[in-house]
Structure 1
Amino acid sequence: MNLPRIGDWHGYDELRRIQDTHLVETLRAAARSPFYRARGDVPTNRAELGDVALTTKRDLREAYPFGLLAVDRAELATYHESSGSSGAPTSAYYTEGDWLDLTERFVRKPVGIHPSDMFLVRTPYSLMLTAHLAHAAARMCGATVVPADNRSLAMPYSRVVRVLRDLDVTLTWSLPTDALLWAAAAALAGHRTDRDFPALRALIVAGEPLSAARRDRIAALWGAPVVEDYGATETGSLAGVCPHGSLHLWADRAIFEVYDQATGRTAPDGRGQLVVTPLFREAMPLLRYNIEDEVEVAYGTCACGWWLPTVRVLGRTAFDCRTAGVPLTQIGLEELVFGLPAEYGVLFWRARAGSTRLRVEIEVADRHRAPAVAALVAAIGRTYGIDAEVVPVPPGGLVPAPLLTATADVMKPRGLFREDEDWAKALRYY
């Protein structure tokens, strides 16, 4: 597989020529897919691609499990399903050739992944792609993988903190929120994140919209840079951060569009839902697949010289929230919460968008309650022009301390118990 490398093009015209060259094989692959054959609208070139109906998450669900398969099933290397955060999960499958593209995109990190790295993978292995992708990419680079998983009874936060410290973990892969939870768990264990984890050189995060304010707070807590990645189980990594901190779409590996729901039109840039046509998919070609994430895409120059569009990910469109008719986004509110002075110690929050009033709860110590509440109410009023009820809750009110300090409680299936043991757990693996 002849994969483009950063530096193979200089300027957006050359980038477009690379896309057009590889689009030809993508369209041939789509013609072998039962789903696109049944739709009868497989184009033969870019000019015709714009007339193809968007592929939706509903399409993927209705094609479950192998309706989009374009190769013999014997050629598949892995099968995955999305988390289903906005509805029923969707299927995704990859060949060994697909995996070359997946891993090469993932390792495009300004911090690099090296054989000397101890790489903690803290996203779900289960059916999703995320942990398997990081694991495979790290092994490709020769790094040692610590498969910490997520949502696992065998890997509570206290154990993550122990492993981070005792194994001298250098890189992590997780949700941004997880990095905050580790920091809180480390503090409860008597550790200082900016001092007691000296080997940590970067936290690689994905899976949630990430504001600049929260990114900076996580970096300050751990004394290490936060490196953002963006993608999906159906596509793999779609964007990554350059050495100058901009999040760039991998437009040498996919064609991107921005869909305006109000007009039904797409454009190469602007604000709307992200639409992607991957260019190196053998098993499951996708034409104009609507990720349903709200984004802002821009073409311009960046000091990195990559000649790739930049993207700002605002969140899943399905999670539409409004108060007094004003649209709210998680990333917008997050920017305000983490814009509070760091000494207030606010790491955890939640909000409920009522029809006339927004309610926000923040974890904050008693001594900082009044100024934190006043500052956040004022910031929300300035930014959105709406009334907000900001409710302070004591530390542990949103994230209970037992969640952060609990140890593993996992047992293998058993049939034989002593008289003083609880045999209600017979045959259960937890």
Structure 2
Amino acid sequence: MTVRAPFEIHWNSPEELAALQSKRLPQVLEWASASPFYQERLFASGAPPTSVDLPSLPLTTKQDLRDQRPFGMLAVPRRRVATYHESSGSAGQATPSFYTEQDWEDLVERYARKWVAITAEDTFLVRTPYALMLTGHLAHAAARSRGATVVPGDNRSLATPLSRIVEVIRDLRVSLTWSMSTETLLWAAAARATGLDPTSDFPELRALFVGGDPLTPERRQRIGEIWGVPVVEEFGSTETGSLAGQCPAGSMHLWADRVLFEVLDPVTGTSSPEGRGRLVVTPLYREAMPLLRYDLEDDVEVSYTACMCGWPLPTVRVLGRSAWEYRADGRPVTQHDLEAAVFGLPARYGVLFWRARAGRNGLVMEFEVAPEYRADAVARLRTAVQEALGIVPDLRPVAPGSLVPHGLLTASQDVVKPRSLFAEHEDWDRAVLYH
């Protein structure tokens, strides 16, 4: 299944790839020496660290970035900064990120490494946040760099409810989309709510690009079946841009020619190029805000075993975050585990939306399912969860529309500009946010 890679290859083995990384590290350390944070931590006394010293340097954490906001991580004069971004993440605290124009060249190139190529013939819907986050701006810039027509759909704007997005995909003949994977399920439900069939009524659609939320192989397969197109996954962050992308064989490959990756054993504190642990990254082309051994806090499994696609890059399985692991009746539970069980149910059951709560008294799961499949779905899901986790869940099937209301799928909100003059029947207490 060897296919041409959507990026230039200047190495033929893991050893040559490591040599390419080592060649870049002196530049990375030089850039880092201009950052107030790294000046104080690494360069204040004694000889500055070299490439050989990198594995022994302390980790850079998300909290470090938060503590240094706004300018403690900045390594270039402010006049050279092209864009500033923030990601609040799960902690609710802003994590700053700066990029120069040169940094953006690298960001765009890595994002555009899709095996379903972005072309000038495409109409590309961006359905991730613009605001302060990187994700929407990155997809927008990458699509424009390839000549595509961009539709800036956002996903945190009152002006683009789900019904409007479905209308845009159909009427503008959108061929590529970028969103969280959960969004694609919501679009499918919204389309069906208006009598459209996602598989047949959007013939221009070529692929769904997804990232930003956990995605098991089971759910990725289900989304592909619903829409009848490839689902191409991406892994990255606002602090780093794209770190990995999916190949035609379905594996995720780390962009190790642009970023140095380590797998950290959280128990021993040691790291290695592959294995299972937490992913630590050192971007090799990051000038505005260099990051040395940045702990993403994501649990992964990295392998250098050759992939059938032929891309000479390590593969990665993203397992989520241990911080998001809960315990039910004393046993560990992750969303990844439960999602695999839910989307292992037969497609004809129509189960798309679910939720669960873990606690000392066990695991409670609710999921939408049509009445005629309720008994079979409960029996199958109970067996799957028990086999995977050793827990007998309290399963509560609910009618379609209980977790994702029909009104959310069909609402068409009219958002207008703020104003100060109103008719007598209008609510002028909402002058600034009238809609």
Q: Please state whether the residue corresponding to 1:50 is helix, strand or coil.
A: helix
The range that moved more, 33-42 or 52-61, is: 33-42
How far apart, in 2, do the equivalents of 1:396 and 1:218 lie? 19
Q: Please state whether the residue corresponding to 1:227 is helix, strand or coil.
A: strand
Partner of 2:196: 191
How far apart, in 2, do the equivalents of 1:112 and 1:301 lie? 23
Partner of 1:28: 30
Specify which of 216, 225, 240 is matched with residue 221 of structure 2: 216
Shift of residue 151, structure 1, vs aligned partner: 1.6
The AA in structure 2 aligned to 1:163 is V
How far apart, in 1, do the equivalents of 2:350 and 2:179 lie? 22
Partner of 2:401: 396
Partner of 2:365: 360
The AA in structure 1 aligned to 2:241 is G
The AA in structure 2 aligned to 1:40 is L
The range that moved more, 185-194 or 323-332, is: 323-332
How far apart, in 1, do the equivalents of 2:94 and 2:236 lie? 16
How far apart, in 1, do the equivalents of 2:92 and 2:18 lie? 34
Deviation by residue 1:140-198 (Cα, 9 ceiling, x = unmatched): 00000000001210000000000000000000000000000000000001100000000
Partner of 1:166: 171
Structure 1 residues 230-269: aligned runs within 5 Å:
230-269=235-274
- Contact 1:6/1:306 (8 A) holds in 2: no
Structure 1 residues 272-351: aligned runs within 5 Å:
272-351=277-356
Give me the CA root mean square deviation: 1.4
How far apart, in 1, do the equivalents of 2:234 and 2:135 lie? 11
Q: Please state whether the residue corresponding to 1:304 is helix, strand or coil.
A: coil
Are residues 1:63 and 2:42 paired? no
Structure 1 residues 124-163: aligned runs within 5 Å:
124-163=129-168
The AA in structure 1 aligned to 2:424 is E
Normalized against structure 2, the TM-score is what?
A: 0.96
Deviation by residue 1:207-255 (Cα, 9 ceiling, x = unmatched): 0121001000000000100000000000000000122221000000011
Partner of 2:41: 39
The AA in structure 2 aligned to 1:15 is L
- Contact 1:314/1:329 (8 A) holds in 2: no
Partner of 1:375: 380
State the number of aligned residues.
427
Deviation by residue 1:368-412 (Cα, 9 ceiling, x = unmatched): 111101110111111111121111011111111111110023121
Q: Please state whether the residue corresponding to 2:323 is helix, strand or coil.
A: coil
How far apart, in 1, do the equivalents of 2:310 and 2:218 lie? 26
- Contact 1:208/1:315 (8 A) holds in 2: no
Q: Please state whether the residue corresponding to 1:161 is helix, strand or coil.
A: helix
How far apart, in 2, do the equivalents of 1:182 and 1:413 lie? 29
- Contact 2:21/2:284 (8 A) holds in 1: yes
The AA in structure 2 aligned to 1:31 is S
* Structure 2 residue runs without a partner (length 5+): 1-5
Shift of residue 326, structure 1, vs aligned partner: 2.3
How far apart, in 2, do the equivalents of 1:43 and 1:368 lie? 65
CA, structure 1 residues 283+377, in 2 after alignment: closer, same or farther (shift >3 Å)? Answer: same
User: What is the percent sequence identity of the aligned residues?
Assistant: 59
